[in-house]
Structure 1
């Protein structure tokens, strides 16, 4: 017994020693690469039209007529297994409910008024048409500084993720001497942002495109906020252009599990207090349960990272199939316990019309395939060769940890990459789709973290 304990201790101390040496010598020491702005438009390189044009969503009637016809012609679904809710995927009994609502109650005409109520624009960057929302404060008092904030969405999201969040950021708050001006672009290949015809456009290249977009809009410095792919892209902008980023706010943390991190996590299985705070233990341990959940829920990731065009054909041909695929991801991302509910917990958290707004964006723009190709691009040798996984983030960073986020990391791990971590907020509720699920909590945290950044910059407050 004693001998076994000694062996365990030796293994732990050896792992700690190796982790420390590895960290000091190699971890997050790579300088940021120089990634040029390249041409992603069709054909040979040309000149982008960088003018800013107002944009309204306007879908041809024949597209909506075709959609309605497809919804009428849906084949009967295979019933769910007895005694199951959503453990096998999206429950088809509830899918029938969604289908009936979509056919008979959802009004695209009415929803279009809502979607177009947010100021939107179109411009070109690197040969691609980029669609973005740009919302300025309606009023500002003297002495109130307007701060540009770039919001970046993820998958399977779109511009509609931010419709409830944006007013909470652009409306001045009593006692604060700043307010936000929000720029929320859609990732190339998502929604109304043009997808590329060329391979190689990954999150790093999107970061370059969005940095160029902000430059074209006249913003030399700005704040960032992102979740899901938005966290990757925002983090990469911070790595590539730290002189432009005044503050980075994340609702999901982009850290790859390298050798050092795995060694730390293994040490934590024996001595968790060396790696995590007491309240953080449920994030990671037991480690087997943590990775089992990730493996169980990452099937879509593997499919989209290897065969996006194949699954894209099926999803493009069936609007209700597309809805099931997207809504299932929103369900499990919001709360993993929602598997136990027939409706996937969606009606606990969301208005069905808003959920279908997001599905409609994917359908009417035919972007499901181009959106999924982003998964393939991040796993290429070209992307890995950029070395961004090993580049430290030096800008002031804040992290909002929502308890049902798919990937939660302890502070000791986050600080390895994010060297200037100024705030971590542990939220009481919410998950992966924080901007839709918990817009007030997310907005409050963006405000508080920005205030902290400004205080560190010695900005005087009233």
Structure 2
């Protein structure tokens, strides 16, 4: 393991500015808003801010406040943040991001978790925090070979935690972080003490009796899922089948990369007219900038091809079943793109221990509602034996 600092060259910043200045804009049908993708007027304004208003160096300094490291696991470079608490009784926890997120999602959680006394908690609420970048993402990319599916990543996480000397820890994640945390529980059942996810996929079962007397809220979730599969799954289809073709466009055009990501920050968050209603603009651009500077649009999409390409892969990857030995907690944020049904969840998660439904927040819970997520993780941890 070796220390790492983010140091994007000045030449890369100037290249980005020049590309943003030379963008070639497409036409747009009048009055369509967000229904057919990112609106032209919104993206023009956001690109201008990225070019002339956003301060990457300030974002870089903020990220470099946290200890970061690189190590090689199973033939690929793994980047991770590792912050130890000063509390002797702190419990380790590993957070895993998803797409189109990155490790930067969790930086606002590090202080409250490692130093709970300063953030409204008690010493018993303390954690040692580990936040890796998935192979192919950010500074863990690109990978050197094929085969990096969710199970292989989970095995790498188990090895990472062993190298750090952690043998009794929690796993947390949303989006890809959800199946990766659950797979980690399967890969290291004697070391993972509990799994907390803020996204869970529950597919309708074949048994018709399980649909009897479903609450209206669950019926609405099923209806939303059917509509989402028809209208909102385009990104998944192409990243699961032709990630390399997509990579050319997104690696060559920062505006294309921005649009590809910011669309999801609008559609999957608890937002109104724009993504910034839910997530700070600079946080969004920090995340997008990392994709751009590391050229990981293509490498990050490879996880979809490895784990999502066929229907059978898709179902197994996201909906288990998960015969875990340790307790599992599910936190449901209402504007998420994935909205589970508890009755179905109990079939695939025999160790379901905690189920929390919030009245606000969406897919990027750590960015949208960090306090709610921290409090739920704390409560789950308190309920587990030490």
Using the size of structure 2 for normalisation, the TM-score is 0.93
Matched, 1:170 2:117: no
Structure 1: distance between partners of 2:210 and 2:34: 33
Conservation of the 8 A alpha-carbon contact between 2:201 and 2:338: no
Match for residue 287 of structure 2?
358
Match for residue 191 of structure 1?
138
Secondary structure of 1:425's aligned partner? strand
Conservation of the 8 A alpha-carbon contact between 2:84 and 2:128: yes
* 1:230 Cα offset (Å): 0.5
Q: 166-175 or 307-316: which moved more?
A: 166-175
Structure 1: distance between partners of 2:98 and 2:25: 32
Aligned residues: 381
Structure 2: distance between partners of 1:406 and 1:76: 29
Out of 279, 284, 305, the position equivalent to 2:240 is 305
Matched, 1:242 2:189: yes
Out of 216, 220, 232, the position equivalent to 1:282 is 220
Conservation of the 8 A alpha-carbon contact between 1:232 and 1:254: no
Conservation of the 8 A alpha-carbon contact between 1:221 and 1:245: yes
Structure 2: distance between partners of 1:303 and 1:348: 28
Match for residue 321 of structure 1?
256
* 1:107 Cα offset (Å): 1.6
The structure with more radius of gyration:
1
Secondary structure of 1:192's aligned partner? helix
Match for residue 440 of structure 1?
371
Match for residue 200 of structure 1?
147
Secondary structure of 1:334's aligned partner? coil
Conservation of the 8 A alpha-carbon contact between 1:334 and 1:431: yes
Out of 145, 151, 155, the position equivalent to 2:99 is 155
* 1:280 Cα offset (Å): 3.4
Structure 2: distance between partners of 1:379 and 1:407: 16
Matches within 5 A, 1:125-136: 125-136=73-84
Matched, 1:425 2:345: no
Stretches of structure 2 lacking an aligned partner (at least 5 in a row): none
Match for residue 48 of structure 2?
100
Conservation of the 8 A alpha-carbon contact between 2:225 and 2:339: no
Q: CA RMSD in A?
A: 2.2
Matched, 1:373 2:322: no
Stretches of structure 1 lacking an aligned partner (at least 5 in a row): 1-51
Matches within 5 A, 1:22-421: 52-79=1-28, 81-137=29-85, 139-140=86-87, 145-173=89-117, 174-255=121-202, 257=203, 261-264=204-207, 267=209, 271=212, 273=213, 276-277=214-215, 279-284=217-222, 287=223, 289-335=224-270, 338=272, 341=273, 345-379=274-308, 384=313, 389-421=320-352
Structure 2: distance between partners of 1:106 and 1:249: 34
Using the size of structure 1 for normalisation, the TM-score is 0.78
Structure 2: distance between partners of 1:268 and 1:282: 16
Structure 2: distance between partners of 1:390 and 1:150: 22
Instruction: Tell which has more relative contact order, 1 or 2 (C-alpha 8 A, sep 6+).
Output: 1
